[in-house]
Structures are given as structure tokens and as C-alpha cells.
Amino acid sequence: MANAASMREEAETIAVKALAFVASDPELLPRFLALTGIEAHSIRQAAGEPGFLAGVLQFILAHEPTLMRFAEETGTPPAAVGRALRALPLGDDNHERSI
């Protein structure tokens, strides 16, 4: 389904922007690392794990001021972040999981 693939690609793009946003913020990054248990040097490796990008979006969505700042700085509508989360594996909309 081309539409689903397109939605997933757009969701991944938003999630990668969110990760860059978090990684570049000296206050958000330590909080993100503490909440996820990931060490800074392991982010690149963790980013390839299923559910990681969904976790980044969940982190952004969990704090409205952070969501609004992300939206403003990246030109991403806040509602698009929630849609992106649902389009990603482990983001909640029961995606087929490949084993």
C-alpha cells in the first residue's frame, strides 16, 4: 500500500527531526537519556531498534511546551507529531511486526 509507506516515511522524517531537536538541546537530551536508559554514545545504535523513533515522539508529546517548541522550530504542526507516532512501529496502531 503506497499510502501506508508514504505515511511511514513522513513519520520517520518527523521522528528524525525530533531526535535532532532533542539531541541539540542541553536540557532535553539528559532528560531523554535518563528516561530511556540509553547512553549518549549508544543513540545511533538505538535509533535502529524497533520502537525507538516512536519513543522519541512519545517523549516530545509528553510535555506540551516541548511539543510546541519543536513544532515552532521545525515548522511541524503539533497534530502531525501524534499522527507520526501512530504511523510508526510500536507507536500504537497495531502495525504488523516483522520478526
| Residue 49 pLDDT | 85
**pLDDT digit string, tens, across residues 47-77:** 888 889 999 999 999 999 999 999 999 999 9
Answer yes or no: is 92 within a domain: no
Taking all residues of the chain, what is their mean pLDDT, rounded to a whole number?
Answer: 88
Answer yes or no: is 71 within a domain: yes
Instruction: Average the pLDDT over 71-99 and give the result.
Output: 80
Domain that holds residue 68: 2-87
**Total number of residues shown for the chain:** 99
* Block residue for cell numbers 531498534: 49
Answer yes or no: is 98 within a domain: no
Answer yes or no: is 8 within a domain: yes
- pTM for the model: 0.85
Instruction: Work out the angle at residue 30's Cα, subtended by the Cα atoms of residues 90 and 51, and round it to the nearest 5 degrees.
Output: 10
Contact between 35 and 29 under an 8 Å Cβ cutoff? The reply is no
Answer yes or no: is 93 within a domain: no
Answer yes or no: is 99 within a domain: no
More confident residue, 27 or 99: 27
Domain count, the chain: 1
DSSP 3-state of 84: helix
Answer yes or no: is 97 within a domain: no
